[in-house]
């Protein structure tokens, strides 16, 4: 498989597998506790971002904070979707719900826009638009939860609003909530995402 990763098999039958996508400087171990809290018993597939920025793993290159190398965004989103297909075959799992934080949310959004069939739903925690002019996607009712921080110094509110509008225009069912939070996750993120996942 193309990405270093951790895989935790399901212990229950109720929830779809989660594809856990970490933020800049994280790795394949970081989000396993979050995944277990969000969907107890679900299979967890957790790849490490294949790009390094000053030694910190990420899922695509950027030119500066918030300024993305969009050719690399496209390349890496396709690589991630290929990894998911290969992992599904290797581990015998259904299409996962992506749960991405920060840079991981941005690659999850790009994957949703470019390879929508790879995912069965998406939780975007502190996402921003990964592509300035995304190609039209057919999201046909795909469910997306977006949780933004009202005091997030990294993600401009207009940018995340634009992403929500794009996904809706493409046919996704988007639940976008803005929490009284900064870029870091809060207990409210966990509670809302857990409830959203259990209602899928």
Catalytic (active site) residue 72: no
Catalytic residue among 3, 148, 152, 170: 152
Window contacting ligand MLT (CB under 6 A); options: 82-90, 98-106, 138-146, 173-181: 98-106
Classify the C-alpha dihedral 187-192-29-54 as positive or negative.
Answer: negative
When the beta carbons of 65 and 133 are compared against ligand MLT, the nearer one is 65
In the complex, the smallest distance separating the C-beta of residue 83 from ligand MLT, rounded to whole angstroms, is 18
15 is catalytic: no
**Burial of 67 per CB tally in 10 Å (0-12, 13-18, 19+):** exposed
Options 46, 102, 129, 148, the catalytic residue: 102
The SS3 assignment for 174 reads: strand
Q: How far apart are CA 184 and CA 200, in angstroms?
A: 25
In which residue are the tokens 């990964």 written?
Answer: 130
- Give how far Cα 5 sits from Cα of 2, 32, 45, Å: 9, 11, 7
Residues 58-97, interacting with ligand MLT (CB under 6 A): 62, 65-66
152 is catalytic: yes
CB of 163 to ligand MLT, least distance (A): 12
Interface residue with ligand MLT, options 17, 23, 96, 134 (CB under 6 A):
23
Torsion angles phi and psi, residue 63, rounded to 5: -90, -30
Residue 94: which of 39, 148, 48, 53 has the closest Cα?
39
Q: Which of 34, 51, 57, 103 binds ligand MLT (CB under 6 A)?
A: 103
Output the smallest distance, CB 62 to ligand MLT, in A: 5
CA angle 149-193-29, nearest 5°? 90
- x/- letters, 131..170, toward ligand MLT (CB under 6 A): -----------------------x----------------
User: Residue 17 CB, nearest distance to ligand MLT (Å)?
Assistant: 23
Kindly report the number of other CB atoms within 10 A of residue 65's CB atom.
9
Of residues 106-125, those binding ligand MLT (CB under 6 A): 106
Question: What element of type H or E holds 125?
Answer: strand 121-125
**# binding residues, ligand MLT (CB under 6 A):** 9
Q: Which residues are catalytic?
A: 102, 152, 183
Residues at the interface with ligand MLT (CB under 6 A): 23-24, 62, 65-66, 102-103, 106, 154
């Amino acid at each position: 498989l193309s990405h270093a990763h951790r895989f935790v098999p399901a212990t229950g039958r109720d929830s779809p597998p989660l594809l856990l996508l970490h933020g800049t400087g994280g790795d394949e171990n970081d989000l396993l506790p979050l995944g277990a809290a969000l969907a107890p018993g679900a299979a967890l597939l957790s790849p490490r971002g294949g790009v390094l920025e000053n030694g910190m793993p990420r899922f695509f290159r950027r030119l500066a904070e918030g300024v993305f190398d969009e050719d690399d965004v496209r390349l890496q989103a396709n690589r991630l979707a290929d990894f998911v297909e290969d992992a599904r075959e290797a581990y015998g799992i259904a299409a996962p719900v992506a749960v991405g934080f920060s840079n991981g949310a941005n690659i999850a959004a790009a994957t949703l826009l470019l390879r929508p069939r790879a995912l069965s739903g998406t939780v975007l925690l502190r996402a921003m638009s990964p592509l300035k002019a995304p190609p039209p996607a057919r999201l046909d009712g795909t469910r997306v939860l977006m949780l933004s921080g009202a005091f997030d110094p990294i993600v401009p509110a207009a940018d995340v609003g634009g992403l929500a509008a794009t996904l809706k225009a493409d046919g996704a069912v988007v639940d976008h909530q803005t929490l009284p939070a900064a870029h870091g996750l809060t207990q409210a993120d966990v509670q809302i995402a857990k409830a959203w996942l259990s209602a899928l």
